[in-house]
Chain A
Amino acid sequence: DIQMTQSPSSLSASVGDRVTITCRASQGIRNDLGWYQQKPGKAPKRLIYAASSLQSGVPSRFSGSGSGTEFTLTISSLQPEDFATYYCLQYNSYPRTFGQGTKVEIK
């Protein structure tokens, strides 16, 4: 099974800050990685697919990068509505695996 190690598990940031979240795969997954945002009591929402492709309708302050084993989600200027938990997902092979999540909180 491919393990997805996501870091940090939580972070505190202020509105306007640049935020970076990392996912590391235990083996190469090409660019078969997505990023999801989840707010309390809500279903996850896809932000990024194929490691760097922005989901239609998602603000351009979100971006993804990486390939192989190292991936990054960047929020260029954190907005109040971005406080949420973020997950990466590898879909290169079965079983599909998510990272442990990163909770982004208000500083």
Chain B
Amino acid sequence: EVRLVESGGGLVQPGGSLRLSCAASGFTFSSFWMGWVRQAPGKGLEWVANINQDGSEKYYVDSVRGRFTISRDNAKNSLYLQMNSLRVEDTAVYYCARVTQLGNFDHWGQGTLVTVSS
């Protein structure tokens, strides 16, 4: 069974940093692209970033490029999102998701809440 478990969310002040983690199990992690999607309170889904199997290709939504860094450790079956210079508008539930060969998301974690507030 595919399982994705996010951690690392919490309350942080504007300008602060946070690192999210996603522990993957139940599939060959190193064979899949992975991604992050977020959802602000009461709002819709927003794609954040994707990373390829060996970490050599990364894509970001414009609003986080230069502030957020997606990475992975295939030896630890883990995906990460380093978030720097956080803004109030980054407040959201962040989901880790597996990317299929076609490019869409087939399995999602339960999400971790990031709150940026003073």
Residue numbers of A with Cβ under 8 A of B are 32, 34, 36, 38, 42-46, 49-50, 55, 87, 89, 91-92, 94-101
Contacts and interface: CB of A to CB of B under 8 A. Distances in A.
B36 to A, nearest CB: 11
Contacts of A38: 45
B108 A44 contact: yes
A46 B61 contact: no
A50 B83 CA distance: 32
Contact of B47 (A42, A43, A55, A95): A95
B102 A32 contact: yes
Interface in B41-93: 44-47, 50, 59-62
Contacts of B37: 44
19 contacts: A32-B102, A43-B110, A44-B45, A45-B108, A46-B104, A49-B100, A87-B45, A89-B45, A91-B104, A94-B59, A95-B60, A96-B47, A96-B103, A97-B47, A98-B45, A98-B47, A100-B44, A101-B44, A101-B45
The 9 closest A-B CB pairs, nearest first, are A91-B103, A96-B47, A43-B108, A34-B104, A98-B45, A101-B44, A94-B59, A91-B104, A95-B61
B44 A98 contact: yes
Residue among A34, A96, A97, A100 having the largest count of chain B Cβ atoms under 10 Å:
A96
A36 B46 CA distance: 13
Interface of A is mostly: loop
Contacts of B110: 42-43
A23 to B, nearest CB: 13
Contacts of A89: 45, 47, 104-105
Contacts of A55: 106
A96 B95 contact: no
Contact of B102 (A44, A50, A101): A50
Contacts of A87: 44-45
B111 A43 contact: yes
Nearest to A31: B102
